[in-house]
Structure 1
Amino acid sequence: MTVYLIAEVKITDEAWIPDYVAHVHEIAARHNGRFLSRSGNVETIEGPPSEGTVISLLEFPSREDVLAFADDPEYAPYGAARRQGSICHYRLIDDTDLAGAIPYLVGPAAT
């Protein structure tokens, strides 16, 4: 089942960014992940504005692939640097439709 990692990052110290940008997409790719967006062009059209400086959207074939990426020892120093120089919210969603009304999405997950 396809899953999406949504990373909302409020940068507090930019020192970590060059190394992170240069290496992390390759590590994600080794775990079958790909960036769909990594943008600072965040526009709020409803609700309170986000505090995020950058929002990234990554697609992975499975939850296990995301966890393997997050737990990859090669990713560890980049993740630690990101956490040191930012406030982050990482969220994982799947491709289900909670209401079960959109035919091209998977119906509600069985409980």
Structure 2
Amino acid sequence: MSVYLIADIKVTDDGWVPEYAANVHNLVEKHGGRYLSRSGNIETLEGEQKDSTLIAILEFPSRAALDGFAADPDYAPYGTARQSGSVSNFHVIDDTDIAGAIPYLKAG
């Protein structure tokens, strides 16, 4: 079952960004993941406007793969730098439909 990591980030000190942007995608790929988007082009269609700098959406083949990425010692210095220089909200969702009404999604 695929899982998706939604990273909503407000950069407070951009010193970490170049190294993170240049290197973390390789670690994501190492764990079978891929970026679907990593964009600063954010438009709020409904609800409160957030002051996010960027939102990234990553797909992993399983929760175990995502957990492997997050726990990878090679990722630790990048994660620590991001946490020190941002306000980050990470959410994990799976590929299910809670109502079970969309035929191409698994009922969740």
TM-score by length of structure 1 reads 0.96
1:99 aligns with 2:99: yes
Q: Which residue of 2 aligns with 1:66?
A: 66
Matches within 5 A, 1:1-111: 1-108=1-108
Identity %: 56
AA of the residue aligned to 1:8: D
AA of the residue aligned to 2:44: T
2:97 is paired with a residue whose SS is coil
Residue 51 of structure 1, CA deviation:
2.3
2:96 is paired with a residue whose SS is coil
Counterpart Cα distance in 2 of 1:51 and 1:99: 31
AA of the residue aligned to 2:10: K
Residue 52 of structure 1, CA deviation:
1.2
1:10 is paired with a residue whose SS is strand
| Structure 1 residue ranges without an equivalent (≥5) | none
1:7 is paired with a residue whose SS is strand
TM-score by length of structure 2 reads 0.99
Counterpart Cα distance in 1 of 2:31 and 2:50: 29
AA of the residue aligned to 1:40: G
What RMSD, in angstroms, separates the aligned Cα atoms of the two structures? Answer: 0.5
Between Structure 1 and Structure 2, the one with more strand by share is 2
2:45 is paired with a residue whose SS is coil
